[in-house]
Structure 1
Amino acid sequence: MENVVRLTPTLKAVAAVATLVLAATACGSSGSSGSSSGGLNPPDLKAQSKLGKSEGEVNLIAWAGYVEDGSNDPKVNWVSDFEKQTGCQVNSKVAASSDEMVKLMKTGEYDAVSASGDASLRLIASGDAAPVNTNLVPNYKDIFPDLKLQAWNSVKGRAYGIPHGRGANLLMYNTQKVTPAPTSWAAVFGDASKYKGHVTAYDSPIYIADAALYLKATKPELKIKDPYALDQTQFDAAVALLKKQNGDIGEYWSDYLKEISAFKSGDSVVGTTWQVIANLTADEGTKIKAFVPKEGSTGWSDTWMISAKAKHPNCAYQWLNWIVSPKVNAQVAEYFGEAPANAKACEETSDKNFCTTYHAADTAYWKNIAFWNTPIEQCLDGRTDVKCVPYAKWVQAWTEIKG
């Protein structure tokens, strides 16, 4: 349903994996906490009650950079020790999109998936993902509290996965060419014509939520509560704003190396980015700043989920516990370029400023991030008197927006 690129941060990772596809992760409204999945009523599946004997292998679907065994970079390997300690041989498949993840999970051939928010509710609603017994994941206790039982990884207080990592979508601008310094997303919406042809935006249907978040702050008459829960009127307003913006866009980005290059050359001077991209752009010598504007931002948070048809559930549970253990979660976070989910991971990062740079423990920072979620007809903001526009129609609209 999308063609978005999921990025790995290091140049070595890029060389190994080339271009990948990013998918949305998620939460409900900006600053929301707790599960709020509206009228979603998933099948009544039971979580596993206790761990049994290891089955000897586990089949995983993951974003590139999440399951590294040293084959891409000999120095990047957290799979081999897992296999030695558990006896579970890891078989992994890199997925290019959330839609591919959903299709693969439906085959029943995979035990677990690192699902993003635009996939997680689909997997829960269809019964392809089982509830998770967090008591079987000892490292869960050290996960940051504001990542637990959220709208993209739980329904009605039942956990459907283990948080892995998170990041925010930032506004980046060239400090030498964009003046005065912007404070608002108006820089890429209302004022975008000032930089016509040099504005960049994230290439994904989920970017519609960025427009909705801006309208939430600037058009209160629309009564938008959650940028992923848009009725037809609200949705049409967001689409209209993006169609207007399209005339000022120089390039929609999905490959982060192209965004770095565009900012370096001056082809792009303002637009959306991630912290890891901002870091690398600055390292290239480009004078940029990246920040969360006053309206807040969208963002992503990935969740390891277990298949309801898992043939190796015991090894899957051991993998979930391993991947969020402090040392491993730190390794993944640094390699991928995201804030770790385990609070103790910050003590294990090789760069001692890493968690500060990525705001890992900054609760106030994350309250301003509306994490990606799966738009469904049952409005995620709790409304029952209207239907909201489902993600399939976001995909259709994105094609129209881009012309």
Structure 2
Amino acid sequence: MKRSTKRRTLAVTSAFLLALAAGCGTESGGSDADDDTGSAAGFTPPDLPMKEEMGDMEGEVNILAWPGYAEDGSTDAAVDWVTPFEEETGCQANVKYFGTSDEAVSLMKTGEYDVVSASGDASLRMIAAGDVAPVNVDLVENYVDVYDYLKDRDWNSVDGQMYGVPHGYGANLLMWRTDLVESAPTSWSVVFEGGSEYAGKVTAYDSPIYIADAAMYLMETQPDLGIEHPYSLDEDQLAAAVDLLKKQKENVGEYWSDYLKEVQAFTTGDSVVGTTWQVIANVAQGEGVPVDVVLPEEGATGWSDTWMVGADSPNTNCAYAWMNHIISPEANAAVAEYFGEAPSNAKACDIASEGHCETFHAGDEEYASKLWYWTTPIEQCLDGRTDVKCTDYGDWTQAWTEVKG
């Protein structure tokens, strides 16, 4: 049965979105915005075995997930894709939610979890540490229906070897008050270069990963900097992004990480233009706030999450069964609507509520090609350079502290 868009929007509770804001944003997925789907240059993962064949189900699976990714009906009786999995496989799903990717990385080191929904700036850390194993996608029946442009990307593969299955994705968009911003913006310049016109009413995402938004803008507007990948910045390029963000800060009224506060700020007019998510715009519009969103001409950052298997999992059959289930058309459509994102399985759009896939641009490869999905910055330059050392997430965290002062 299809859920209505209104029901889905209301189902996205404040607790869930707060967790998404606290974690996904600070550490969620990342990508290459062109057709080059190669893995991280120079990145050599530990040599771990890959599952070769399916066997008997072990009876349980320990799932580490973002809130909203493994609903069993306890939050809302109408929202349940865990129970059908348990009934079909005989695998008891033991679910633990995490609030940030840092927490997920730490928990995966315990070896207590069989499968994890990893965001892009967590996935490479897990791979490098040997905490997740390469995934044999031939054992995941529904993988064939996953959009090709989500496969073999910087955040979910290394040298062509997949380390998980894509779950869902979305863009970080530009939102504005249509009654207070004179003309509809088409460029991120409105928050980076023209912010003085809205001094004190510009809003930006509160996370070190937001540095990539500035880097992406500089990549298009200052080509002499040589930025080819917004998550692959040498020291000079990072410094340029920091300078731009410091300039922007003069006009920022609030950095947001709480979705409710962003909705409230746009409701009162304390914020009139800045970065957002489609699901937040939907909530604001549903409350009568006159806002609109756009994917700017420079493109945007975004997220694409991946289900990965623990390297020491004793329940790999149930783990693979879970991955296959969660990207099945039925489950993938349900979680995408509840979470507020595009599903990864093309067939999910045949089941999702009318208009959902259009709203979130599911299956729109041209749209997806304009997105740079969150990816962990690492010393090995993701753009292929080997003559310099790129800055890592620790450098970005320090730089973000410098930006905010």
TM-score, L = length of structure 1: 0.96
Q: Give ranges in structure 1 of 5+ residues lacking alignment.
A: 1-8
CA contact (8 A) 1:64 1:95 kept: yes
From 345, 368, 371, give the equivalent of 1:369: 371
Q: How many positions carry a matched residue from both structures? A: 394
Aligned twin of 1:289 = 292
1:13 shift after superposition: 3.9
2:96 match: secondary structure: strand
Q: Give ranges in structure 2 of 5+ residues lacking alignment.
A: 1-7
CA contact (8 A) 1:28 1:381 kept: no
2:13 match: secondary structure: helix
2:192 match: secondary structure: coil
Is 1:22 paired with 2:53? Answer: no
CA–CA distance in structure 2, aligned partners of residues 399 and 11 of structure 1: 35
1:45 shift after superposition: 1.3
CA contact (8 A) 2:9 2:282 kept: no
CA–CA distance in structure 2, aligned partners of residues 11 and 261 of structure 1: 16
Q: Map of 1:150-161 to 2, 5 A cutoff?
A: 150-161=153-164
| Alignment deviations for residues 258-300 of structure 1 (CA, whole Å, 9 cap, x no partner) | 1111111101100001111111111111221101111110010
1:15 shift after superposition: 5.1
CA–CA distance in structure 1, aligned partners of residues 223 and 124 of structure 2: 28
CA contact (8 A) 1:297 1:369 kept: yes
Q: Map of 1:297-308 to 2, 5 A cutoff?
A: 297-308=300-311
CA–CA distance in structure 1, aligned partners of residues 381 and 393 of structure 2: 12
Aligned twin of 2:81 = 78
From 264, 268, 271, give the equivalent of 1:265: 268
174-183 or 265-274, larger mean C-alpha shift: 174-183
CA–CA distance in structure 2, aligned partners of residues 364 and 28 of structure 1: 14
| Alignment deviations for residues 7-63 of structure 1 (CA, whole Å, 9 cap, x no partner) | xx7444425647312323333332244123011000111210011111111111111
From 117, 121, 146, give the equivalent of 2:120: 117
Aligned twin of 2:3 = none
| Alignment deviations for residues 125-176 of structure 1 (CA, whole Å, 9 cap, x no partner) | 1111100000110000000010111111101010000000000000001111
CA contact (8 A) 1:29 1:228 kept: no
Aligned twin of 1:397 = 399
CA contact (8 A) 1:36 1:382 kept: no
CA contact (8 A) 2:14 2:260 kept: no
CA contact (8 A) 2:31 2:371 kept: no
CA–CA distance in structure 1, aligned partners of residues 28 and 362 of structure 2: 16
CA–CA distance in structure 2, aligned partners of residues 290 and 355 of structure 1: 16
1:370 match: secondary structure: strand
Q: Which amino acid aligns with 1:389?
A: T
Q: Which amino acid aligns with 1:95?
A: F
38-47 or 19-28, larger mean C-alpha shift: 19-28
2:84 match: secondary structure: helix
Q: Which amino acid aligns with 2:23?
A: L
Q: Which amino acid aligns with 1:164?
A: H
Aligned twin of 1:380 = 382
Work out the percentage of aligned pairs sharing the same amino acid.
58
1:243 shift after superposition: 1.4
Q: Which amino acid aligns with 2:324?
A: N
CA contact (8 A) 1:167 1:301 kept: yes
CA–CA distance in structure 1, aligned partners of residues 169 and 11 of structure 2: 21
Q: Which amino acid aligns with 1:52?
A: G
1:248 shift after superposition: 1.0
Q: Map of 1:3-402 to 2, 5 A cutoff?
A: 10-14=9-13, 17=16, 19-20=18-19, 21-23=22-24, 24-349=27-352, 351-402=353-404
17-26 or 182-191, larger mean C-alpha shift: 17-26
CA–CA distance in structure 2, aligned partners of residues 310 and 249 of structure 1: 45
CA contact (8 A) 2:17 2:259 kept: no
CA–CA distance in structure 2, aligned partners of residues 146 and 276 of structure 1: 22
1:217 match: secondary structure: helix
Q: Which amino acid aligns with 2:105?
A: V
1:110 shift after superposition: 0.5
Aligned twin of 2:4 = none
310-319 or 337-346, larger mean C-alpha shift: 310-319
112-121 or 177-186, larger mean C-alpha shift: 177-186
CA contact (8 A) 1:142 1:343 kept: yes
TM-score, L = length of structure 2: 0.95
1:279 match: secondary structure: helix
The two structures, once aligned, show a CA RMSD in angstroms of 1.2
